[in-house]
Amino acid sequence: MPATKEVVSLHGTLRGEGRQRTCSVRAMRCSVYEDESTVPVAITYSRCDIVDADDFPDGNYELEFDGHKVLFTKKGEHYLARLVDCDTLPR
């Protein structure tokens, strides 16, 4: 199955520490296609970054965009993606 990768800019919603705002997100989008199809059968995102700055306090946040959620921790001026143990996620 052919696949394409591209860096895309999206709008998302950042929530946490009692706050919420819309934000700009840059991510790597991978689209997988069945042979000769122009419509992807799967789309995944990686390397998600929150592009714009804010005055939110350090702490834990959840970013939601395009139906996906990514967990971040803010330290200083930087948002760092958190690794999640899949065994601890609700099923």
Which token pair is 24?
């700009």
Q: Please, what is the average pLDDT of the chain?
A: 90
pTM, full prediction:
0.81
- Confidence tier at 89 by pLDDT (50, 70, 90): very low
H or E element in which residue 46 lies: strand 40-50
- Please state the domain count of the chain: 1
Give how far the C-alpha of residue 11 lies from the chain's centroid of Cα atoms, to the nearest Å: 10
Q: How confident is the model over 40-66, as a mean pLDDT?
A: 94
Nearest to 60 by CA among 84, 26, 86: 84
pLDDT band of residue 91 (cuts 50, 70, 90) is very low
For position 84, what pLDDT does the model report? 63
Residue 88 has pLDDT above 80, yes or no: no
The two tokens of residue 45 are 């995102």
Range of 49's domain? 3-85
The answer to whether position 91 is within a domain reads no
Q: Within a domain: residue 45?
A: yes
Is 24 a member of any domain?
Answer: yes
Is residue 29 a contact partner of residue 36, using CB atoms and an 8 Å limit? no
Cα gap 81→28, rounded to integer Å: 14
Residue 87 has pLDDT above 60, yes or no: no
Please indicate, yes or no, if residue 90 is contained in any of the structural domains: no
